[in-house]
Homo-oligomer: A and B are copies of this chain.
Amino acid sequence: MAGTTSQPTSRTRSWWGWGWTDAHPDDAECTAMGALLPGTLGRPLPVPRVSDLEIAGPAVEPPPSLAHLVSTDREDRAAHSMGKAYRDVARALRGRPGRVPDLVARPTDDRDVADLLDWAGERQVAVVPYGGGSSVTGGVEYRGDAHRAVMSLDLTAMGRVLEVDTEGRAARIQAGTLGPSLEDQLRPHGLTLRHFPQSFEFSTLGGWLATRAGGHYATGRTHIDDFVQSLRVVTPAGTSSSWRLPASGAGPSPDRLFLGSEGALGVITEAWVRLQERPRHKASAAVAFADFQGALRAVRALAQSDLSPANCRLLDSGEAALSGAAHDGSSVLVLGFESADEPVAARLERAVALARSHGGRYGGADGAVGDRDGAPDGEGAVSAWRSAFLRMPYLRDGLARMGAVVETFETAATWDRIPGLIDEVRREVGAAAVKATGHPATVNCRLTHVYPDGAAPYFTVLAAGRAGDEVAVWDELKAVASEVLHRHRATITHHHAVGRDHRPGYDRQRPEPFALALRAAKGALDPRGILNPGVLVD
């Protein structure tokens, strides 16, 4: 089976597209979606098959002592050739995936990882760490030709919760543990990590840590970083194991150097992470705004209050319409509160009142706005939005089969930058799409995470492609978007990571002395330059 992991499932992962093959839209659904977007193909591109690819045999053989960890299966190798960005899907659909790795290794413990790194270092084999493979920034793909061969290092055979400290609410967890398995293993202890990126089903703890993933909480602890007690990282220069601490002031944080290192400094193999009791009290609501600027002011007031909503996601009118949250041109603010130890209805009421004081309408007539969900296990607020959120990547791939260009990108900036930034991204990316394709495009925005001092806007682009040249169209739009971000000093990524696709923006953003320090650290930990080459530093 292509793209499977060692964590058991009866379903089949797609080698080229998002998630499970049985959840992909069929040809009829693709055609119907395409009909809504002028300029797309009349019928879907065929589902790509590995058997149609020219894949050479592996350029190296693994040594006998490690052979039991290594696969050279073509399907397996093809499934590890790229992440799951739109440009990955589009390349696969056109029969031009990324460089197919020579080997796929599945270590079972730290010793295996160290042995594989030793061997790769001796043979000049590039090592690309791979968790769930859901990178949307070219993070798990080898580009270049400076290495003799490429090995994808799939961590999913290391998928166990090893220890749980119920008193201190923490667990030691192997890096290759996929989201659902991680929560399944914690559930019997009454504890949860509550880290739910959109990729939750298809991403791992190690991937979250290596990319500083954004999770469930819209305010406060938005990134996985804040849940880390300690990390274990295997590097070519030895294994780094930090102490399990609630906090420390002893020098620069060792963990913060590896968080976000994207496999370039070492392979994260396990972590102690902070857990929580499962929430017993939940309340959510949606508030509609006729005026997006008023909605922004409401969200800022909420983020600067003591209310700490778990959910505080603002959908602009386009995003609200697309997800079914509102159809009258309103922007919609999705609010959610939760707690393990006290009712949250009063906090929700205060939040709604605050939103109304900035022009919000609660309990509108259309049925979607004003939805209120008190179900004990509901995750979100507006169920229409929630469903769309999880289905979105599948629909993206369906539209990609119609030749459309469909992708997202995200950033963060301080409040003073937010209105202008959002306006200019919409306008300039929209204009670039018209120029590139001859058809109008949709550029929607939502705020996924909010802070007292700023917010994280998340943009969705829906555009016609140019048949056979879809990747180039996207690259043009992304370059325009990145230019706007840079002009506003908005980060090139809030939680999608840098990978290879964001390198130009990242290189301009990071302070040059920090780049010097990072290169030096890389040289010290990975002297042969085998670890995820091209990511973060050259």
Q: Give chain A's interface residues, CB within 8 Å of chain B.
A: 165, 167-170, 211-214, 222-223, 229, 233, 235, 237-254, 256-262, 265-266, 274, 276-277, 300, 304-306, 339-342, 350, 412-416, 449, 451-456, 489-498, 502, 506, 509-514, 516-521, 523-525, 536
B453 A168 Cβ-Cβ under 8 A:
yes
B245 A249 Cβ-Cβ under 8 A:
no
* Complex Cα gap A512–B242 (Å): 9
Q: Which chain B residues lie closer than 8 Å to A496 at the CB level?
A: 249
**New contact pairs (20) apart from A213-B249, A274-B453, CB-CB < 8 Å:** A165-B416, A238-B513, A243-B491, A245-B414, A245-B454, A245-B491, A246-B452, A246-B453, A247-B454, A250-B510, A251-B262, A252-B257, A254-B514, A257-B517, A266-B513, A276-B452, A342-B350, A517-B520, A519-B524, A520-B521
Q: Which chain B residues lie closer than 8 Å to A229 at the CB level?
A: 414, 453
- Number of identical monomers bound together in the oligomeric complex: 2
Q: Which chain B residues lie closer than 8 Å to A489 at the CB level?
A: 243-245
B415 A491 Cβ-Cβ under 8 A:
no
* Complex Cα gap A165–B214 (Å): 26
Q: Which chain B residues lie closer than 8 Å to A342 at the CB level?
A: 306, 350
Q: Which chain B residues lie closer than 8 Å to A498 at the CB level?
A: 250-251
Q: Which chain B residues lie closer than 8 Å to A502 at the CB level?
A: 250
CB distance from A418 to the nearest CB of B (A): 9
Q: Which chain B residues lie closer than 8 Å to A523 at the CB level?
A: 520
CB distance from A416 to the nearest CB of B (A): 6
Q: Which chain B residues lie closer than 8 Å to A254 at the CB level?
A: 510-511, 514
Which residue among A252, A412, A523 has the maximum number of chain B CB atoms within 10 Å of its CB? Answer: A252
* Complex Cα gap A248–B262 (Å): 14
A168's contact among B233, B414, B492, B512, by CB below 8 Å, is which? Answer: B414
Which residue among A245, A277, A451, A496 has the maximum number of chain B CB atoms within 10 Å of its CB? Answer: A245
Closest B residue by C-beta to A454 = B246
A412's contact among B248, B451, B456, B516, by CB below 8 Å, is which? Answer: B248
A415 B167 Cβ-Cβ under 8 A:
yes
Which residue among A306, A498, A517 has the maximum number of chain B CB atoms within 10 Å of its CB? Answer: A517
A413 B245 Cβ-Cβ under 8 A:
yes
Q: Which chain B residues lie closer than 8 Å to A524 at the CB level?
A: 516-517, 519-520
Q: Which chain B residues lie closer than 8 Å to A249 at the CB level?
A: 211-214, 223, 260, 491, 493-497
Q: Which chain B residues lie closer than 8 Å to A412 at the CB level?
A: 245-248
Q: Which chain B residues lie closer than 8 Å to A168 at the CB level?
A: 414-416, 452-454
CB distance from A273 to the nearest CB of B (A): 10
B248 A491 Cβ-Cβ under 8 A:
yes
* Complex Cα gap A157–B304 (Å): 33
Closest B residue by C-beta to A211 = B249
B169 A304 Cβ-Cβ under 8 A:
yes
B248 A494 Cβ-Cβ under 8 A:
yes
Q: Which chain B residues lie closer than 8 Å to A165 at the CB level?
A: 414, 416, 453
Q: Which chain B residues lie closer than 8 Å to A212 at the CB level?
A: 249
A170's contact among B453, B455, B511, B520, by CB below 8 Å, is which? Answer: B453
* Complex Cα gap A247–B492 (Å): 11
Q: Which chain B residues lie closer than 8 Å to A511 at the CB level?
A: 233, 239-242, 254
A246 B518 Cβ-Cβ under 8 A:
no
* Complex Cα gap A492–B247 (Å): 11
CB distance from A253 to the nearest CB of B (A): 6
* Complex Cα gap A442–B451 (Å): 45
A306 B491 Cβ-Cβ under 8 A:
no
A260's contact among B250, B341, B493, B516, by CB below 8 Å, is which? Answer: B250
* Complex Cα gap A223–B253 (Å): 12
* Complex Cα gap A214–B248 (Å): 10
Closest B residue by C-beta to A452 = B169
Q: Which chain B residues lie closer than 8 Å to A244 at the CB level?
A: 414, 489
- 29 A-B pairs, CB-CB below 8 angstroms? A165-B416, A167-B416, A168-B416, A169-B453, A222-B247, A223-B249, A233-B513, A235-B513, A237-B513, A241-B511, A243-B489, A245-B412, A247-B456, A249-B260, A249-B497, A250-B260, A250-B492, A250-B497, A252-B256, A252-B260, A253-B260, A257-B257, A265-B517, A274-B452, A274-B453, A277-B304, A516-B524, A517-B520, A520-B523
* Complex Cα gap A536–B254 (Å): 12
Nearest 7 pairs of A and B residues by beta carbon: A246-B454, A517-B521, A520-B520, A240-B511, A246-B451, A520-B524, A256-B256
CB distance from A472 to the nearest CB of B (A): 25
Q: Which chain B residues lie closer than 8 Å to A506 at the CB level?
A: 250-251
Q: Which chain B residues lie closer than 8 Å to A169 at the CB level?
A: 304, 452-453
Closest B residue by C-beta to A243 = B489
A306's contact among B265, B339, B452, B517, by CB below 8 Å, is which? Answer: B339
CB distance from A505 to the nearest CB of B (A): 8
CB distance from A218 to the nearest CB of B (A): 11
* Complex Cα gap A240–B525 (Å): 23
A247 B414 Cβ-Cβ under 8 A:
no
Q: Which chain B residues lie closer than 8 Å to A222 at the CB level?
A: 247
